[in-house]
Homo-oligomer: A and B are copies of this chain.
Amino acid sequence: MSQKPFVSAQEVAERAGVSRSAVSRTFTPGASVSPETRRRVVEAADALGYHVNHLARGLMLSESGIVCLIVSDMGTPYRSSLIRAVTQQLQDAGKIAMLINTDRSDGSVDLALRQAIRYRADASIILSGMPDKSITQLCLKNGQRLVLINRDDDQEGPFRINLDDAAAAGRLVTAFLRAGCRRLAFANSEAGTPSLMAREHGFIAAAKAIGLEVVVERYGPTGYESGRVLAQRLLTQSERPDAVFCATDLIACGFMDAARHQFSIAIPGQLCVAGFDDIEQAAWSSYELTTFAQPVEAIAREAVTWLGKDGSDDPAERIHSVRLNADLVWRSSIRGG
């Protein structure tokens, strides 16, 4: 690398024949600079290819503009669409996203948060496993703000964005009923995250309320393959279910594929299926899956606007939690509608 890779404000100042402070002020909104000085600075800056060093600026302001996204399974349709929405909104708000992958081990969320602290990220948004309580405390103590999406953690301090999973699951029971279904089943993964469990419990509770039992099966990670295995298990039972709520669209896709191609079951003729997330594939005509839409854009907006608020106001008064609802998207994997 060459000696002077980046051009500094000093050099711009010299070329423009002003002081370095003038340069700094030119690029600081709201600072007092005469039009003439500004013109000369901008000209010199363009000529030299100058760009404010955000590292140094972050050092001064103790506000880096960096927000950490801590994510697992980011190849997954739902996750990637959420990442997309959040980064876009962050950019619109003048911030920038750092991406940390936590697929490896379980302590990797903690490692990721440490990394976030090292880069003095203003905040971290967590879309994956739950961080240790000690770590979140460390973050908060370091002045870093925390957003938990669908983590449903009851810790104090972080801002939590959740869905009304249970309520949504409850509404689905009614829908199945209207379609004439009686033998309900729930296909879940073994991940056991709060949102998945809320869907399961909400579904069971609503069914019980009208006197119906739910067959629950859990298997593997939250993905397509698990859906196939779950179909294997649920569709070979003596009394085969006529309605299955899959905890996730990916599971639902696997389930439907196995049901149709392996067991030759007609959907929705002999079996109604619903999912959760409304991933792009749910709308594909091989699935036409009735599902609950994750309000991805709303989640992202909620997170970013909260970050935009100044944290200096009364902490007791600050909102620490928001619950959004997931709308049911009707497609033909359930009869009627």
Contact = CB atoms under 8 A, between A and B. Distances in A.
Contacts of A144: 5
Given A5-B142, A77-B77, A87-B100, A118 B285 contact: no
B51 A5 contact: no
Contacts of A312: 1
Q: Which of A69, A120, A254, A261 has the most CB of B within 10 A?
A: A120
Contact of A53 (B79, B120, B253, B281): B120
Q: Which of A2, A64, A74, A119 has the most CB of B within 10 A?
A: A119
| Category for how many chain A residues contact B | 35 or more
Given A5-B62, A281-B281, A114 B84 contact: no
A49 B285 contact: no
B96 A97 contact: no
A101 B87 contact: yes
A257 interface: yes
B55 A114 contact: no
Contact of A54 (B49, B79, B118, B258): B118
A212 interface: no
Contacts of A325: none
Interface string A2-15: 10011100000000
Interface string A70-90: 000011110111011001100
Interface of A: 1-2, 5-7, 49, 51-56, 58-59, 62, 64, 66, 69, 74-77, 79-81, 83-84, 87-88, 91, 96-101, 103-104, 114-115, 117-120, 138, 141-144, 224, 228, 253-254, 257-258, 260-262, 280-281, 284-287, 311-312
